[in-house]
């Protein structure tokens, strides 16, 4: 279709810790990596506050700063970082074949190796009232949008580390945070739970779900339901934050790459190899278990090494 398609040795799709770590290793191995950042350059860590568990930052680091530093480190070795989104792929099943990737529905590139680091995206509950009010007070990113609700009452849904972290973040800005956890316990780590329970302006509600988000144009309140007693209660809020986990960004790979029932890419053994020769997966897109910045970075490194070894075993295509 496109005679002029650019030829790339190592194409990296996604710019989180996995993508940039793959880029650092690939660039240093002279694989001439090109990174397409996706819609959220820097990935999920750009929407977090303090990262206290990435080795090498004794005082912690804020997510956006860490991602800028990772990008700079990748660029220092010659990585070509471009804003753009992979919108379609046509992978070659032949070893040594070129993989065709469409960027932003327009440009086509041909890649000898592809490293997929597209991460995962926030999930929503799926309630009609929640969907209607997305952008009108319903958000999946407290760090991005919390500021708009300064001094106001808000609510957050979820019982994992994200919900706990965002609840304490919001509690610093807002007057009151009602936290809805659907079970009688939280999934978050004990340390995060402790932060939640010791923050006075977080009103923690176990066994509680959303019945309906109230408001026409903007969020005005919430009707909650206790899933044990069926008792309903309405509260006035202006912001609702959804923090119930993520979905892997793999839609464009359906039918070409093996994935599990949730859409996470499957890799071979301990490697980052997908079922297509020359295509590798790293980071949250292939990891539903650990999902940490440091594990994503680790698998990014592995993907670059796997790509390097793969290229060494094939004759360079013309
Ligand atoms: P998780 O999958 O860990 O937690 C999702 C939470 O949302 C669970 O409490 C779950 O409830 C709840 N939930 C899911 N669906 C619904 C629903 N329809 N209605 C109500 N509640 C729902 O996701 P997280 O985003 O919190 O964390 C992802 C990973 O990232 C984890 O491994 C976590 O440890 C890590 N992380 C680490 C951080 C750090 O170390 N600083 C910060 C943030 C995340 P249930 O338990 O009932 O299934």
Regarding whether 231 and 133 lie in a shared domain, the answer is: yes
Beta bridge partner(s), residue 80: 34
**Average pLDDT in the 240-254 region?**
95
* Closest by Cα among 161, 191, 155, 126 to 48: 161
**Average pLDDT in the 107-117 region?**
98
Pocket test for ligand 1, best of 61, 62, 155, 244 (most atoms within 8 A of CB): 244
Q: Give me the half-sphere count of Cα atoms (radius 13 Å) on the Cβ side of residue 110.
A: 13
Q: How many CB atoms lie within 10 A of CB 287?
A: 22
Question: Going by CA atoms, what residue is nearest to atom 4 of ligand 1?
Answer: 160
* Cα–Cα distance measured from residue 222 to residue 176, given in angstroms and rounded to the nearest whole number: 14
Percent of the chain topping pLDDT 70: 97
In tens, the pLDDT along 87-104 reads 999 999 999 999 999 999
Regarding whether 169 and 92 lie in a shared domain, the answer is: no
Cβ(53) to ligand 1 under 6 A?
Answer: yes
Regarding whether 191 and 299 lie in a shared domain, the answer is: no
Regarding whether 144 and 100 lie in a shared domain, the answer is: no
**Average pLDDT in the 263-287 region?**
97
Atom of ligand 1 nearest to the CA of 53: 40
Beta bridge partner(s), residue 239: 154
CATH of the domain at 128: 3.50.50.60
1 within some domain: no
**Average pLDDT in the 171-194 region?**
97
Regarding whether 117 and 250 lie in a shared domain, the answer is: yes
307 within some domain: yes
> Tokens representing 97?
């074949």
Regarding whether 238 and 131 lie in a shared domain, the answer is: yes
CA distances 8 to 29, 75, 100, 208, Å, are 15, 16, 10, 51
138 within some domain: yes
Regarding whether 65 and 34 lie in a shared domain, the answer is: yes
* Closest by Cα among 2, 255, 248, 19 to 114: 19
* pLDDT(2) > 60: no
Regarding whether 177 and 69 lie in a shared domain, the answer is: no
Domain boundary among 242, 275, 305: 242
What is the pTM for the complete model shown? 0.75
Catalytic residue among 30, 52, 144, 184: 144
Q: 14 and 38 in contact (C-beta within 8 Å)? A: yes
* Cα–Cα distance measured from residue 286 to residue 297, given in angstroms and rounded to the nearest whole number: 12
Question: Going by CA atoms, what residue is nearest to atom 2 of ligand 1?
Answer: 245
DSSP letters of 128-189?
Answer: HHHHHTBTTTEES-HHHHGGGGTTSEEEEE--SHHHHHHHHHHHHHSSEEEEE-SSSS--S-
Q: Is residue 141 flagged as an active site residue?
A: yes
Question: Going by CA atoms, what residue is nearest to atom 7 of ligand 1?
Answer: 244
210/140: higher pLDDT? 210
Give the residue numbers spanning the domain of 170. 124-242
Question: Going by CA atoms, what residue is nearest to atom 30 of ligand 1?
Answer: 291
289 within some domain: yes
Regarding whether 116 and 19 lie in a shared domain, the answer is: yes
Regarding whether 219 and 208 lie in a shared domain, the answer is: yes
Cβ(132) to ligand 1 under 6 A?
Answer: no
Supply the pLDDT for residue 316: 55
Regarding whether 203 and 179 lie in a shared domain, the answer is: yes
Q: Is residue 144 flagged as an active site residue?
A: yes
**Average pLDDT in the 74-87 region?**
98
* pLDDT(74) > 50: yes
* pLDDT(1) > 60: no
Cβ(130) to ligand 1 under 6 A?
Answer: no
* Cα–Cα distance measured from residue 276 to residue 226, given in angstroms and rounded to the nearest whole number: 48
Cβ neighbors of 270 (< 8 A, separation 6 or more) are none
Cβ(291) to ligand 1 under 6 A?
Answer: yes
Q: What is the mean pLDDT of the chain?
A: 94
Cβ neighbors of 233 (< 8 A, separation 6 or more) are 223, 224, 225, 226
Domain boundary among 242, 273, 307: 242
* pLDDT(48) > 80: no
192 within some domain: yes
In tens, the pLDDT along 118-143 reads 999 889 999 999 999 988 999 988 87
81 within some domain: yes
Q: 283 and 1 in contact (C-beta within 8 Å)? A: no
**Average pLDDT in the 248-259 region?**
97
How many independent structural domains does the chain possess? 2
Pocket test for ligand 1, best of 187, 192, 225, 294 (most atoms within 8 A of CB): 187
Question: Going by CA atoms, what residue is nearest to atom 36 of ligand 1?
Answer: 161
Domain boundary among 195, 214, 242: 242
Supply the pLDDT for residue 318: 46
* pLDDT(50) > 80: no
Supply the pLDDT for residue 228: 98
- pLDDT category at 289 given cuts 50, 70, 90 is confident
Cβ(120) to ligand 1 under 6 A?
Answer: no
Q: 125 and 244 in contact (C-beta within 8 Å)? A: yes
Helix axes 161-173, 190-197, angle to 10 degrees: 30
DSSP letters of 193-245?
Answer: HHHHHT-TTEEEETTEEEEEEE-SSS--EEEEEETTT--EEEEE-SEEEE-S-
Q: How far is the CA of 135 from the centre of ligand 1 (A)?
A: 22
Q: Is residue 145 flagged as an active site residue?
A: yes
Least confident of 144-158, 210-224, 273-287: 144-158
Supply the pLDDT for residue 63: 87
Regarding whether 63 and 199 lie in a shared domain, the answer is: no
N-term to C-term CA, the chain: 18
């Amino acid at each position: 279709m496109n005679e002029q398609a650019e030829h790339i040795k190592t194409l990296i799709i996604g710019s989180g810790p996995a993508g940039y770590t793959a880029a650092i290793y690939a660039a240093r191995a002279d694989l001439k990596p090109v990174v397409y950042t996706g819609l959220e350059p820097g990935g999920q860590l750009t929407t977090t506050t303090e990262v206290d568990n990435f080795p090498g930052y004794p005082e912690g680091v804020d997510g956006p700063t860490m991602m800028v530093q990772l990008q700079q480190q990748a660029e220092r070795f010659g990585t070509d970082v471009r804003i753009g989104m992979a919108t379609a792929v046509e992978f070659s099943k032949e070893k040594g074949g070129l993989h065709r990737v469409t960027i932003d529905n327009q440009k086509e590139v041909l890649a000898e190796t592809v490293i997929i680091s597209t991460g995962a995206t926030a999930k929503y509950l799926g309630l009609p009232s929640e969907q209607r009010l997305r952008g009108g007070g319903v958000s999946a990113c407290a760090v991005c949008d919390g500021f708009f609700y300064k001094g106001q009452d808000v609510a957050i849904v979820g019982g994992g580390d994200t919900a706990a972290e965002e609840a304490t973040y919001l509690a610093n800005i807002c007057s009151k945070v009602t936290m809805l956890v659907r079970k009688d316990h939280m999934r978050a780590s004990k340390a995060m739970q402790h932060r939640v329970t010791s923050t006075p302006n977080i009103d923690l509600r176990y066994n509680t779900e959303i019945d309906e988000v109230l408001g026409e144009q903007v969020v005005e309140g919430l009707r909650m339901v206790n899933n044990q007693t069926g008792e309903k209660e309405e509260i006035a809020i202006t912001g609702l934050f959804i923090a119930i986990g993520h979905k892997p960004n793999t839609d464009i790979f359906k039918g070409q790459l093996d994935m599990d029932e949730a859409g996470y890419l499957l890799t071979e053994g301990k490697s980052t190899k997908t079922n297509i020769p020359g295509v590798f997966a790293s980071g949250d897109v292939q990891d539903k278990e650990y999902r940490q910045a440091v594990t994503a970075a680790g698998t990014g490194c592995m993907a670059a090494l796997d790509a390097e070894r793969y290229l060494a075993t094939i004759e360079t295509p013309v």
